[in-house]
Every structure is written in C-alpha cells, then in structure tokens.
Structure 1
Amino acid sequence: MALPSVQRVFLESVASTDPEGRFIEVNGIQTYYKKAIPQSHGQLLQNQQSIPNEPNKPVILLLHHFLGNLYTWRHHMQPLADNTGCHVIAYDRPTFGFTERPTKWEEGRNPYTQEASVEFAVQLVANLGYENRKIALVGVSGGGSIICGIAVKYPDLVHSLCLLAPSIRHEDQGPPPIGRHILGSAPGRLFLKIALYQYLPITLFYHNTNSIPDWETVVKPTYRVPLTLPNFYESVSWLMKYFVPLDLLPYKNVLAQKPILYISGDDDKYLHVDKHREVFDEIASSCPNVKMEFKVINECGHLPQDEKPQEVLNSVINFLLSLQI
C-alpha cells in the first residue's frame, strides 16, 4: 500500500483542529467537507434509531467563491438543515481550503478546469451516498457559475438554484485571457504570492467590513490560513492558467427550467447590481412559469453570505420552503 503524501498528512493535521470536518476522496483528490443533518436526525442516531428514508428530499450543496472555503457557510449549514429537513454539504473546492492540490494528473483529467469543477461537485455528492437524490444548489460568485454548469449538464439531478452574486456571463467569469496567461506563468505566481499575502481577504468585495460578524477573529483568519498550506500558490496559478469560462447564458432555456433565487448586494463593486438584474431577467424571461425570485440586499457587497449571513439564510430557507421541499 502506498504511503500517503506529505501534503495529505499535513492537511489532515491542520484540519484536525475542527472536529466537524471530514475528508473523502473524490476523483483521486482528498477533499475536505462538512455535513449538517437536522437535529431531529441527530437525536435518532444518538438513540441508535435509523434515520427515516426520505428519497423525495433533496440534498443541499453549498459552493464557495474564488479564494474562499467552506467556512464561509458556518452561519448557514445547521439552520438550513433544521429548517428544511435536508442534509446540507459544503466542501473546499480543489485549490482552496484544506482540500488536496494535485501537482500532476493524467491527460484529460486536469482538476483545475471549470468543467472538472462541475464533474467534481456531482461526484462528491455521489461519493457521500446521495447519488439518487436531487440537489438543491447554492453558490456564490464563481461557485454560482459552477452550479449553473451542473444545471446545464445534469438538469435531471438539480432541484433548484440559489445564486448569490453569481458570475454567469462569459466576460464576468475571471480575468481576461491575457490576465489568465500572465497569472499562470512563473512571474504571475510570484505576483499572486505577494498580492494575496498582502491583500487577502479582498476588502473591495464588501460594502463595509466593520459590519461583518467576526471579521477580525474568524473571517480574516479563515481566508488567510490556506496561504500557508502546501501547493496553494501553485494551484491558484494553475487554476488561472487553465481557466476557460463556462458558456452558460446560451443555455438559459435549460437554466430557466429550475426554480431560481438570485441574490445581489446593492453595493457589489465586482458586478454591479444592474448587471445582475439583466442576467436574471434574461434567464427568467425564457420560462415565465417557473418560480424565479430576485432579491437585493441593502448595504451589501459581492459576498452576501459573509456580509449579511442572516438575510441570506432567511432568503434561502424561505425560497426552499416555498418549493415544498
């Protein structure tokens, strides 16, 4: 049996400080995730009773943003499970958090492409035992484009979409090609190391960091811890090098087949709220008979789950309950 890599051992050691975190292998990558189940289910387990099989209940999957990690959902996971009766999963996408960052891969299996991110999320759900369940998808920014990619490629798997300031338009997904080429080079990697060490978390993404719960004690540290982990800067550079935006809006008719909650901050400096409204209207007009909601959160920037966690949580819960989840 091959010995585990130094990277895997190190990541497991650092992550072990949180007893709720778990690892599972997905497509050969050691993946860090958390799962929340309704408290009523937890009580049944404590009493050594089986959890009732509810095949009609979807599983809720949360996808974080570029340079984020699953801790961005710390205010959301358990309340979502308790209020909907669903199991809730969040994970660190490859490159980020405590998930392994591959340094080599077989031809055609590059883990740093957008298409690979779509396949990875679907496989994670299957590996955790939910392959026969619909998925209620929640994604923020770049995570929003990935869940739309899932809805386009695997529409039969998708229950609904909750999009938080998503990057859906082709031109809004990441830097332009020349920027990706530069950031994917050796000099670009050095620039990333200097810039991220100095400026992460990027305050431009927020309306007012002083209003964010636990900004100094929790939010900033959870963004910065991955900077010290093995192969972080290399994997960010590879992510930029191999990044090709998902072509999503040409498939708006497919996206519009699913109920959609679209949330934007009124002070999104990365993608203006008017652009978000245009994208939502374009999708919603394709299928007017499907439930669609557009919500603007006041005094909020590009990452509403960080800045206004309770408002986001209430909106997602109310939306899912309205679908008789």
Structure 2
Amino acid sequence: MTNELPSVQRVLLESIASSDSEGRFIEVNGILTYHKIVIPQSHQQLLQQQQPILDEPNKPVILLLHHILGNLYTWRHHMQPLADATGCHVIAYDRPTFGFTERPTRWEEGKNPYTQEASVDFAVQLVTNLGYGKKKIAMVAVSGGGGISCGIAIKYPNLVHSLCLLAPSIRPEDQGPPPIGRHILGSAPGRLFIKAALYRYLPITLFYHDVNSIPDWETTVKPTYRVPLTLPNFYESFSWLMKYFIPLKLLQNKSILSQIPILYISGDDDKYLHVDIHREVFNDIASTAPPNTEMEFKVINECGHLPQDEKPQEVLNCIINFLLSLSI
C-alpha cells in the first residue's frame, strides 16, 4: 500500500514556515503543529563543544500560550531571555487555527479540535510529544491562552509548576459568547463577516494602549500577525473555533487554581477586560489560597490587553523575578 500524499495545506504551511530556521513541526493528535524550542545559551555552548548536558529533573519546562488571533511570534522578546535567566527549556507553539499550525477540516466524532477542552489536552500532549512529559510545566499565557493554561492546571494539577497569566480572558461569571452568537459566527454568513472584519482590522488595535510605542509596528509586527489570514482554511477554522467555544468552568474550580503559584499581570488600559475585572478575578482565586502559596498581582502602566507586545521588558522582568522567587 502506498503512503497517502500530504495535503496541499501541509505542503504550503511547511514551505512558508521554512523561512524561519528555528521553527519546527511536530504532529500532535493528528495535527501538524508549528513550534519553537529555546534552550539556555550555556547549554548551546556545551552542545557546540560536544559536551553532555546534565538533565536537571527538578526544573520545569516553560510553555508559552498566545492569544486568540496571535501566534508564537508574540513571544519574540521573551523566549531566549527566559531560558537564560531560569536555566529552563522554553516552548512556544501556534495553537490550532492560528499561525502555521494545520487547521483540520474534518475530525472523528468526539475529537473536535476546536473546543476549549481539546485545547487543554492538546497543550499537554504537545509537551509530551516533544519529550518533556516527565517535567512539570511553568505556563506563561496571555488573554485566551490564560484560560487554557488555567484549564490545564485544573485538569492536571500535578503537571503544573506555576501560572504566569497576562491579562487572561477570565470573567467573574465565566461567560463566553452567547449561543446565538456562536451559531451565527459558525455559519457561512458569519464566516464572510469574520473574513471582512479581520482582513480590515487585524491586528485589533483596540487591544493596545498605543501601537506607536511598538518598534517596527507597520513594517514587521502588523504584517506578521496578518500573514496567517492568507493561509488555507483559516476562516473556516476560526468560525468553528467561535461556534464551539464554551468557556471552561475556571472560577468554579478556584480552590484548585489557588494551590498553584500565580503571577497575574494586567495593563492599566485594558479595553477588552478592565483592570478592575482582572483584580476581581485575581482576588477571587487568591481568597481560597493557602497562606504559603505565592500570589502576585501586577499592573503595568500605559499598557493594554497584550502586555507582552507593548511592554515586553517589564513583563519579562516580572516573570523572571516571580519564577526565581519559586527557586526554579
């Protein structure tokens, strides 16, 4: 029997992504997944000298989860500095629907890759497939990625070392789009609306305090966020993501989250979720935390909903200091 030919989508994704020598693909739950792994420079030097790298079993692996309509490019300022400062390996990946990761057009019953539950299991499986299954995970996540990382902590608490949440999309009532809204966005007319809106407005500047403060916004940053819109099946998969989006019951499980060290960062000008909402969510989780659990809430000035883009150095400093305080 001859092997099945790769799909046109896979061939195109691999061709476009090949321009970045650091990017790699791995199959996770049948989905070709684009990712990067960064190791400390001290380890790189040992590799170049053909010396063995001693595994440090007590060190976690750091997993970065981007926002909806983002991709792993959003962590461009953070991966290597995080690895160097902590001595940990750092993984970032394009979540299904986004970036250069494959967008399935069909799936077996009960294996819909576009649900929040599937996103939780997908992230854990990625870490396992990359060879880090025996390590705990220190998660750094922004916006919608924050909800997924909290879902991982609730379902697999023994796997999670800590949570660094950047403006996580968690509301006190754990509400998502109303069912009628999900139905409309998941329909053919809704898909046309999504295509017209995103083509014109992505990146969504409302998410930022001031895009002019971001170096190379027009020449590099904005185009990099827009490229995935041109790739096969983006609008179909995004409409499915909206159709099947049912929020995870996160705050109902705050007693589990509160057992895990949490750094919670909010911008003072978050127009998507106001800083007061972020503070309410944090206080709700922290209210059930044991006395010895590390819980920190940070507000970054002149910053919107995507702190890693607008204030990368401040965010990086906060994350490094927090992780080092845990004796990582």
1:153 to 2:155 alignment:
yes
1:3 is aligned to 5
- The answer to whether the aligner puts 1:49 opposite 2:67 as a matched pair is no
Gaps of at least 5 residues in structure 1 are: none
Q: Larger deviation: 167-176 or 268-277?
A: 167-176
Is the contact made by 2:174 and 2:251 (CA closer than 8 Å) also made in structure 1? no
Q: 1:172 to 1:220 in 2, by over 3 A?
A: farther
Offset at residue 175 of structure 1 (A): 2.7
* Larger CA deviation: 6-15 vs 171-180: 171-180
Equivalent residue for 1:247?
249
1:214 to 193, 213, 216: 216
User: What's the counterpart of residue 264 of structure 2?
Assistant: 262
Q: Which residue of 1 aligns with 2:110?
A: 108
Contact 2:174 2:249 in 1 (8 A): no
Q: 1:318 aligns with which of 317, 321, 324?
A: 321
- Other-structure match for 1:300: 303
Q: Distance in 1 between matches of 2:181 and 2:303?
A: 28
Aligned residues of 1:142 and 1:173 also touching (Cα < 8 A)? no
Structure 1 residue 166 displacement after superposition: 0.4
Cα offset for 1:51? 1.2
CA distance 1:173–1:42, shift in 2 (3 Å): farther
Residue type of the partner of 1:186? A
Structure 1 counterpart of 2:315, one-letter code: V
Q: Which amino acid aligns with 1:52?
A: L
Give the direction of change, closer, same or farther, for the CA distance of 1:214–1:174 in structure 2 (3 Å limit).
Answer: farther
1:204 and 2:206 matched: yes
One-letter amino acid of the counterpart of residue 92, structure 1: D
The answer to whether the 8 Å contact 2:143/2:306 transfers is yes
Q: Distance in 2 between matches of 1:37 and 1:262?
A: 25
- Within the candidate set 171, 176, 182, 1:169 is matched to 171
TM-score by structure 1 length?
Answer: 0.98
Contact 2:39–2:89 under 8 Å retained in 1? yes
Tell me the residue number matched to 1:73: 75
Name the SS for the 1:23 alignment partner: strand
CA positional deviation for 1:100 = 0.1
Q: Match for 2:264: what amino acid?
A: Y
Match of 2:136 in 1: 134
Inter-partner Cα distance in structure 2 for 1:131 and 1:279: 30
Measure the CA separation in 1 of the matches of 2:152 and 2:220.
31
2:265 is paired with a residue whose SS is strand
Tell me the CA shift for residue 288 of structure 1: 4.1
Structure 2 gap segments, 5+ residues each = none
Aligned match of 1:39 in 38, 41, 44?
41
Q: Render the CA deviation track for 1:208-243: whole Å, top value 9, x for unaligned.
A: 111112211221011100010000000000101111
TM-score relative to the length of structure 2? 0.98
Moved more, 287-296 or 265-274: 287-296
Match of 2:237 in 1: 235
> C-alpha distance in 2, partners of 1:160/1:302?
21
Cα RMSD (Å) of the superposition? 1.0
Distance 1:321 1:173 in 2: 34
Q: Deviations over 1:255-281 (max 9, x none)?
A: 000000000000000000000000000
Alignment check: 8 A CA contact 2:171 2:277 kept: no
Q: CA–CA distance in 2 between the matches of 1:196 and 1:254?
A: 36
Do 1:36 and 1:88's aligned partners in 2 also have CA atoms closer than 8 Å? yes
Letter of the 1:230 counterpart: P
- Give the whole-Å Cα distance in 1 for the aligned partners of 2:106 and 2:14: 20
Moved more, 172-181 or 230-239: 172-181
CA offsets per residue over residues 271-303 of structure 1, 9 Å max, x none? 000000000001011014201000000000000
CA contact (8 A) 1:169 1:248 kept: no
